[in-house]
Amino acid sequence: MDWGTELWDQFEVLERHTQWGLDLLDRYVKFVKERTEVEQAYAKQLRSLVKKYLPKRPTKDDPESKFSQQQSFVQILQEVNDFAGQRELVAENLSVRVCLELAKYSQEMKQERKMHFQEGRRAQQQLESGFKQLENSKRKFERDCREAEKAAQTAERLDQDINATKADVEKAKQQAHLRSHMAEESKNEYAAQLQRFNRDQAHFYFSQMPQIFDKLQDMDERRATHLGAGYGLLSEAELQVVPIIAKCLEGMKVAADAVDAKNDSQVLIELHKSGFARPGDVEFEDFSQPMNRAPSDSSLGTPSDGRPELRGPGRSRAKRWPFGKKNKTVVTEDFSHLPPEQQRKRLQQQLEERNRELQKEVDQREALKKMKDVYEKTPQMGDPASLEPRITETLNNIERLKLEVQKYETWLAEAESRVLSNRGDTLGRHARPPDPPASAPPDSSSSNSNSGSQRNKESSEEPPSEEGQDAPIYTEFDEDFEEEPASPIGHCVAIYHFEGSSEGTISMAEGEDLSLMEEDKGDGWTRVRRKQGDEGYVPTSYLRVTLN
């Protein structure tokens, strides 16, 4: 069924319907445009919200970033930021593929519709003009017939009148004959005009207008199809970002599951453990007899060298309670203003930084030497003498860094001795810690279970994470491992190369197969055995572990 056959007489109806279709197209374009504005505003607000709650301090300088709770929150903020990016992508796709394309298509449809209706109106005007000509010829024929009949009656009356002259009778007959001839010509003209109009009318209703209506129908159906496709683009733009949004939501779920309360408690200990020994019992001071009185050697007032501080009767005591208000301290280069455990960690960090800088300078010196050799062999590439200032500067930097490394190593050794001394005092006065496993030396096990003071994560070309650079590391173990053999509890593969330079650690190559002898106790170290039989500790994050 088509419009040209079924709606041949509904020109005005088709005109209103096609105009309504174009108006609907324009309304949809306007709707999508406002929808994109909503999406853009939503994305902008999400990004502003994320920016508001993101940590202001760099991760390296923010101790709170070491807690899994904070890390999960930052990850959620990043996922929300990615989600906002997907909303912006939806807005962009709708703006380009719907608003711009459909607006352009609407203008094309309006021009086509205007052309078809102009053609229809011209056909109507031509038919109306033909009908007017038909009516004029009809009236003329009618008028000429009346005049001819009237002239014939006049001639007949004069012919019967005996008083009329022959000349009057002849004149009347001639007039009647002329009028009859004119009526006959009008009749022929009217018949010809009627035949022409009927032909034009048949062409108008059966050919010309049906073709125009069919063109309008085709135009309207194409518009409806295009509009339906535009409706589909609305959902398609959403479906395109569904996988990414699903990943964002999955990332939020992973961040929620990554919160580890026990690990956060351990992190808090690592960050703020002072290393001081607990104060001993307060001694009874008998003021009834003159005698020298000294506080307990294990109190907080005891100097670091172990010698008791003598106080006279009038001398005030230092605060024994560690939660009291602390006085302002002067920051020193060896971090002696910090508690022993924190001092050791800061010195270890400084030592690692100096070692990295030293290695960088050594690599630069080797590169300069190679470049100098190339210049000496191929003078046209450069002047070897031009590299001497840089080589000299590099050598000076190496010497300076070596001195700093030695200085920090000395301070670190002193700080570790303080930590071990305080730990020994505490163990001597309080309950004995649990026995270490037979496969690990007592001192190293105690260090692993009671503090993170001897962790050593060697820097590599690709460390597992940036946070690992700030983590406390082992520097040395007190004793060698016992030689009592133990059965492996699993298998592991080295993901990164590790150079075990400290006592108690072993070296391993990237991709090396190892036997798992003892799991990580929460301090970041795992005990493994090499195929050669060597055992020692390596960083847990450097391994891919499979338990038996």
Three-state SS string over 51-70 comes to HHHCCCCCHHHCHHHHCHHH
* Per-residue H/E/C for 60-120: HHCHHHHCHHHHHHHHHHHHHHHHHHHHHHHHHHHHHHHHHHHHHHHHHHHHHHHHHHHHH
Joined tokens for residue 123: 């056909």
The position carrying tokens 């210049």 is 375
List, for residues 484-504, the tens digit of each pLDDT value. Answer: 557 888 999 999 888 887 778
pLDDT value for 425: 54
Rounded to whole angstroms, how far apart are CA atoms 377 and 384?
10
Expressed in angstroms, the distance from the first to the final Cα of the chain is 77
How far is the CA of 211 from the CAs of 2, 3, 242, 249, in angstroms? 10, 9, 47, 57
Rounded to whole angstroms, how far apart are CA atoms 287 and 544?
66
DSSP state, 361? H
List, for residues 189-233, the tens digit of each pLDDT value. Answer: 999 999 999 999 999 999 999 999 999 999 999 999 999 999 999
Rounded to whole angstroms, how far apart are CA atoms 53 and 78?
11
pLDDT in tens, the chain (548 residues): 789 888 888 889 999 999 999 999 999 999 999 999 999 999 999 999 999 999 988 877 788 888 999 999 999 999 999 999 999 999 999 999 899 999 999 999 999 999 999 999 999 999 999 999 999 999 999 999 999 999 899 888 888 888 878 888 888 889 889 989 999 999 999 999 999 999 999 999 999 999 999 999 999 999 999 999 999 999 999 999 999 999 999 999 999 999 999 999 988 988 888 777 777 788 888 788 654 444 444 444 444 444 444 444 444 344 444 544 555 557 788 888 788 888 888 888 889 988 999 999 999 988 988 888 888 888 888 888 888 898 999 999 999 999 999 888 888 888 887 777 665 555 444 443 333 333 333 344 434 433 333 333 333 334 443 343 343 433 343 444 444 557 888 999 999 888 887 778 899 998 999 999 988 887 788 999 998 888 998 888 889 888 87
> Which of 92-122 are b and which e, b meaning 16 or more Cβ less than 10 Å from the residue's Cβ?
ebbbebbbeebeebbeebeebbeebbeebee
Rounded to whole angstroms, how far apart are CA atoms 448 and 479?
13
Rounded to whole angstroms, how far apart are CA atoms 242 and 83?
10
Helix axes 68-94, 261-272, angle to 10 degrees: 120
Q: 251 and 75 in contact (C-beta within 8 Å)? A: yes
Q: Coil, helix or strand for 526? A: strand
pLDDT value for 60: 75
Q: Coil, helix or strand for 492? A: strand
- Nearest to 306, CA basis, from 149, 454, 428, 159: 428
pLDDT value for 304: 43
Joined tokens for residue 544: 């891919």
Furthest-apart CA atoms within the chain: distance in Å:
191
Contacts for 225 with CB less than 8 Å, ≥ 6 apart: none
In this structure, the strands spanning 490-494 and 525-529 are unpaired
Please indicate, yes or no, whether the overall pTM of this predicted structure exceeds 0.75. no
Amino acid identity at 168: D
Burial category of 78 from C-beta neighbours within 10 Å (exposed 0-12, middle 13-18, buried 19 and up): middle
pLDDT value for 525: 85
How far is the CA of 68 from the CAs of 53, 58, 62, 224, 457, in angstroms? 17, 16, 13, 55, 20
Rounded to whole angstroms, how far apart are CA atoms 127 and 123?
6
Rounded to whole angstroms, how far apart are CA atoms 420 and 340?
10
Joined tokens for residue 242: 């569904």
Amino acid identity at 226: H
Q: 94 and 32 in contact (C-beta within 8 Å)? A: yes
Backbone phi, then psi, for 305, in 5-degree steps? -85, 0
Q: Coil, helix or strand for 529? A: strand
Joined tokens for residue 80: 């929300």
Rounded to whole angstroms, how far apart are CA atoms 275 and 446?
14
DSSP state letters, 176-239: HHHHHHHHHHHHHHHHHHHHHHHHHHHHIIIIIHHHHHHHHHHHHHHHHHHHHHHHHHHHHHHH
Determine which helix (DSSP H) or strand (DSSP E) holds 26, and give its type and residue range. helix 11-53
Rounded to whole angstroms, how far apart are CA atoms 82 and 75?
11
List, for residues 147-171, the tens digit of each pLDDT value. Answer: 999 989 988 888 888 887 888 888 8
Rounded to whole angstroms, how far apart are CA atoms 416 and 472?
13
Rounded to whole angstroms, how far apart are CA atoms 25 and 105?
9
The tally of CA atoms less than 13 A away on the side-chain side of residue 56 is 1
Count CB-CB contacts under 10 A for residue 3: 21
